[in-house]
Amino acid sequence: MTNAWARKQKGFTIVELLVVVVVIGILAAITVVAYSNVQQRSRDADRKADIATIKKMLLLYQADNGGVQGTPTYGGTGPGGWDSSDRGAWLGFLGTGYGRIPRDPTNIPPVSPADAGSGTGLVYFYYCYNAGAGPQPATPHVVLGYRSEVAGASIRDTFTVERCI
């Protein structure tokens, strides 16, 4: 009888093994979700730093040229259009004299070129508004931004410039 009791205590029951497998599965699922959020926050931090870099580049360009470049109008008669990082000519007027021009880490294009600043797609966007262009303020200014993966909204930096050339 003592020998039979000793054999029962050596192994795990099927219920114990199933409980361990379920617990490990739950922990793995939590880890995957947490890791995904960390990646999104990391890309958003990169975007924020890149926008600060682009802003500095634009202000240096303005100091050298008396203003920053405007953007073309896409199929309309408006004051201009959005330039976005999914295009080959993204901030091409900066050339190489102001450093490497950053692009969005994922660079997923918007639905259409005119939607670049509306927050669709994961791209950086740029627009230089002339003084009083449409409903815009009476001072020339630049809108520079990105779409946050974490917040799910456009994050914009608007700053005044001398003029859009």
Q: What tens-digit pLDDT sequence spans the chain (165 residues)?
A: 556 555 556 788 999 999 999 999 999 999 888 787 888 999 999 999 999 999 999 999 999 999 998 887 665 566 677 888 988 888 989 988 899 999 999 999 887 766 777 767 899 999 988 776 566 677 888 999 999 999 989 999 999 999 888
User: What domain count does the chain have?
Assistant: 1
Identify any residues that bridge with 95 across adjacent strands, giving them in sequence order: none
Q: In what order do the strands lie in the sheet with 154-160?
A: 83-84, 125-129, 141-147, 154-160
What angle is formed at CA 83 by the lines to CA 160 and CA 158, rounded to 5 degrees? Answer: 25
> Does residue 165 form part of some domain?
no
Which segments of the chain are extended strands (E)? 83-84, 125-129, 141-147, 154-160
Per the structure, the complete domain to which residue 86 belongs is given by 2-160
In sequence order, the β-bridge partners of residue 154 are 147
How high is the pLDDT of residue 65? 94
Residue type, 150: V
Q: Nearest CA to 71 among 91, 86, 88, 55? A: 91
Q: Read off the tokens for 65.
A: 């040229």
